[in-house]
Amino acid sequence: METTPSIAASQPAKMAHLANHGVRRISIGVQSTNSTLLSEANRTAQIKAEVEAISNLRKAGFDRVSTDVIFGLPGQSMDDWKQDLKVLVELGPDAITTYDCLYRGKGRPFRKSVKEKQSIPSPERYGEMYDHGYNFLLQNGYFAPYGSVNFSKKEGDTGTSAYFEKRLLWGSPYVGLGNYASSLLDRYWIFGPYTVDAWLDAVREKTEEELLSSWPIHDAYSLGREERVAKHALLSLSFGFLDCSYFEKAFPGCAIEDFYGDVLQYLVEEKGWMVFDRVKRRYLLREGVFDKLHIIRALFYSARCLSWFERKLEEK
């Protein structure tokens, strides 16, 4: 379950109701403690509510409380980022997810003033901010492999749920409920109706049998094996590694080197941006290369995707 600081702070009874009816893990989207940055990014400022929100979630009895925070917002200084991290550590959630700022399409665009005055930070700036966050959180009792955006107080834990791990790392099928929730069934990647009202209209007064026979769909994609392999690799990199065993679970009978042998050799031996742990059978990001992650990710795109990019570049 995900909530906001304002809801968790102002509606403790609702939080307790959720915990009493089986919700064991809850995430709270702090995003930033700087109200100006949140406003410019079209996010509602909710500072001053975090402490009460976390307190209410603890009192409600959730087994695990996690928080999300964004770095790399236009106009965000290193001091702003340091302040965000300091506040989060003082709040003491069980896990912290640090998102590098990516805003796409009509999801939540920046205000015009931000686009005119400030640019998205450079990869080098992203690297500096991630490295500071990584070192600061490790110094304050959190654990994560380098390159992971998820930090946990429990060593060896990914900072996410078991469901999320199986979905992203094992390639397990899943069904998403709610507006624009995604589902993955075999090779089909499906998204539900885009708005809340459209989702409710699609499922209201439907029986279980009717829903299963006619699932509400906004977008659907049939992914070839090469695309599914690329998707798996890119999602795994958000945990800071590519795990050979997990890959073999997702694609039985195949090894990651079958698809990316040359790429991995280039990253490990030529560039030195990744290292191979023979015991864990994992390709790990080398510390200090987060500013190269956009290049590393691009090397795992499928051939069809790269061909599409090339055509778009030629059209410009």
Task: Report whether 120 contacts 74 (CB < 8 A).
Answer: yes
Which residue shows structure tokens 């026979």?
213
Strand partners, 185: 188
Which residue shows structure tokens 């050979």?
244
The CATH class for the domain spanning 229-315 reads: mainly alpha
For residue 118, pLDDT beyond 80: no
**Strand pairing class (188-191; 219-222):** antiparallel
Which residue shows structure tokens 């941006």?
273
d(CA 73, CA 31): 10
pLDDT at 106: 46
High-pLDDT (> 90) share of the chain, %: 60
d(CA 101, CA 70): 6
Per-residue pLDDT averaged across 77-101, rounded?
A: 91
pLDDT at 73: 82
pLDDT at 75: 80
3-state SS class at 266: helix
CATH architecture designation of domain 2-160: 2-Layer Sandwich (3.30)
Task: Report whether 75 contacts 120 (CB < 8 A).
Answer: no
**Domain(s) of CATH 3.30.750.200: residues in the chain:** 2-160
Residues 303, 309, 312: CA angle, nearest 5 degrees:
145
pTM of the model: 0.85
**172: which residues sit within 8 A by CB, 6+ positions away?**
166
Task: Report whether 244 contacts 259 (CB < 8 A).
Answer: no
Place 288 in a pLDDT band, splitting at 50, 70 and 90: very high
DSSP secondary structure of 187-204 = TEEEE--SSHHHHHHHHT
Place 36 in a pLDDT band, splitting at 50, 70 and 90: low
What is the average pLDDT value for the chain, to the nearest integer?
87
DSSP secondary structure of 130-192 = HHHHHHHHHHTT-B--TT-SEEESSTT--SS-HHHHHHHHS---B---STT-EEEETTEEEE-
Per-residue pLDDT averaged across 8-32, rounded?
A: 90
For residue 84, pLDDT beyond 60: yes
**Domain(s) of CATH 1.10.10: residues in the chain:** 229-315
3-state SS class at 80: helix
Task: Report whether 216 contacts 203 (CB < 8 A).
Answer: yes
For residue 120, pLDDT beyond 80: no
